[in-house]
Amino acid sequence: MLAHRAAYNPARMDLAEFLPRIPKGDLWVFGYGSLMWAPHFRYEERTVARLWGMHRALCIRSARYRGTPQRPGLVLGLCAGGSCWGVAFRVAARAVPRVLHTLWEREMPRRVYRPGFVRVRLPRGRKVPALTFIADPHHAGFAGELDLRSRAQLVAQGIGERGRCTDYVRNTLEHMYALGVTDPHLERVLETAEAIRASASSSRAR
């Protein structure tokens, strides 16, 4: 079961509001997308983890990091239902304020995510509360339920400040493989997106 600590109105989210809700001591952070392979913060421990009650989905339009306003890409969020394998990072208590600032700058500029605490399972059955960022289905950037072709089209076209959206999906899959888990739907989206790109390149070359 999920252990959500808070439900926020995205228009009011700010770090100062969130800080008092952080438990004392070390902080666990659950990553399910690019945080798995590029956290950009210091941590004491990194381990595979599983979250029940939510699943990883390509559901957020990216108009900066992996796309533009004219040609958005599609990035990952957590949505209700199912389960999700990812990575849990343990941050030392002394580093928590600095790490939270880094995460806020990275994940919260558009307020498309809701920060909250979920209970994840670590190896040997240990369960811990972990901070993660959940897709806000009411945000304008939330893509909602798309069919395979529509998701693949956004992934194929997206190129932003941090590169191609296809590379983002590929890196996510590769780091999932390193954890010993797979995501067949994400694999199909990437395969279809690469086929779309290849077809477009072939058409331009004619």
Cite the active site residues. 107
Using CA atoms, how far apart are residues 35 and 86, in angstroms rounded to an integer? 9
Tokens found for residue 161? 């400040």
Using CA atoms, how far apart are residues 17 and 137, in angstroms rounded to an integer? 21
Instruction: Name the phi and psi angles at 19, rounded to 5.
Output: -50, -45
| Tally of CB atoms within 10 A around 173 | 17
Q: Which residues of 96-119 are buried (b: 16+ CB within 10 A; e: fewer)?
A: beebbeebbebbbebbbbbbbbbb
